Amino acid sequence: MDDQEAPSRLTRLTFLGPLSEARAARIVGRLSRAAPATVLDLGCGWGELMLRTLEAVDGATGVGVDVNGEDLARGRESAAGRGLADRVTFVEESAESTRHGPADLVLCLGASHALSSVEPPGHTAAALRALRGLVRPGGRVLLGEAYWQRAPTPAELDSMWPGARADEFHELAGLVDLAVAAGFRPVWIESANSDEWDDFESGYQADLEEWLAAHAGHPSAAETRERVDRHRSSWLRGYRGVLGLAYLTLVPVG
């Protein structure tokens, strides 16, 4: 595909997840009060929440780790535009068994799968154990993790991603129990609301939808349309109102 004809990617999203400006501001305010000197963002994407935290804490430095080079390039450009280029590093590599850390603040937002090769649902407990070893005493972990808001029906599971299972995620209480078992105390528990989910899912698809409307006859339009329609159906018929995302602010014990 000619680059000039290729659809834009995720330009409508500020955060790579269901997170509103208001909630982000509250989270950054809460985390910055602990004055972290070092921030580690695992599965960072373009690291928007990390960059906002660095802006809020004078002199703090950050490292973002991800395998997507395009997202990392966006993060570097954003950091440079904010005057943060000398305070943050974006590293293109796997977060599993990372050597970056420990840090005063560790962010892992929708990326627990990047910390372990353990299959769901065991990946959550494995990720929490990894995070426990990556945060300094007295520090904070912000974990954004999926959970079931209610038990999915067989029809909903069939409409989700291939191989979706009812035991793939925990309920919210069970997720928090796992954090406690891993050696944390949950100092703040909150979840993305329906507006945040709708904004994220719509923004996730918006660039592609507009491109399809303008390039119906493009050679790659059929494949792109099938992929976009499949994702939308998975959301609207499958996990909308069923899958939740918790934001847990965790403090290590002892």
pLDDT tens column, 123-150: 999 999 999 999 999 999 999 999 999 9
CA–CA–CA angle 130, 45, 188 (5° rounding): 55
CA distance 120 to 138: 29
Residue 167, C-beta contacts closer than 8 angstroms, at least 6 positions apart: 120, 121
pLDDT of 80 higher than 70: yes
Q: What is the pLDDT of residue 5?
A: 81
Total domain count, the chain: 1
pLDDT digits (tens, 9 = 90+) for 117-128: 999 999 999 999
Q: How far from 206 is each of 51, 195, 202, CA to CA, in Å?
A: 24, 16, 6
For the segment 6-26, what is each residue's pLDDT rounded down to a tens digit? 899 999 999 999 999 999 999
Distance (Å) of CA 207 to CA 93, 197, 200, 224: 27, 17, 12, 12
How far, in Å, CA of 130 to CA of 134, rounded?
A: 7
* Helix 48-56 and helix 69-81, axial crossing angle in degrees, nearest 10: 30
Q: Specify the DSSP element, H or E, that contains 65.
A: strand 61-66
**3-state SS assignment for residue 201:** helix
Q: 3-class DSSP state for residue 99?
A: coil
Q: 237 lies in a domain?
A: no
CA distance 176 to 252: 13
Asked if residue 43 is part of any domain, the answer here is yes
Considering the domain boundaries, does residue 210 fall inside one? no
Hey, what are 119's tokens? 């299959």
pLDDT confidence bin for 42, thresholds 50/70/90: very high
Residue 1 has pLDDT above 60, yes or no: no
Structure confidence at residue 68 (pLDDT)? 98
The answer as to whether 12 is a domain residue is no
Report percent pLDDT > 90 for the chain: 97
- Show Cβ contacts of residue 87 under 8 Å, excluding neighbours closer than 6 positions: 54, 59, 60, 61, 62, 79
pLDDT digits (tens, 9 = 90+) for 187-199: 999 999 999 999 9
The dihedral sign for the CA sequence 79, 81, 82, 87: positive
Inside any domain, residue 148? yes
CATH number of the domain within which 123 lies? 3.40.50.150
Provide the residue type at 127 as one letter: A
DSSP state letters, 15-64: SSSS--HHHHHHHHHHHHTT--SEEEEET-TT-HHHHHHHHHSTT-EEEE
For 149-177, write each residue's pLDDT tens digit: 999 999 999 999 999 999 999 999 999 99
**Under 8 Å between Cβ of 238 and 168:** no
Residue 2 lies in a domain: no
Note down the domain range covering 65. 21-193+243-252
* Residue 14 resides in a domain: no
Confidence of residue 185 (pLDDT cuts 50, 70, 90): very high
Q: What is the mean pLDDT of the chain?
A: 97
**In this structure, is residue 202 part of a structural domain?**
no
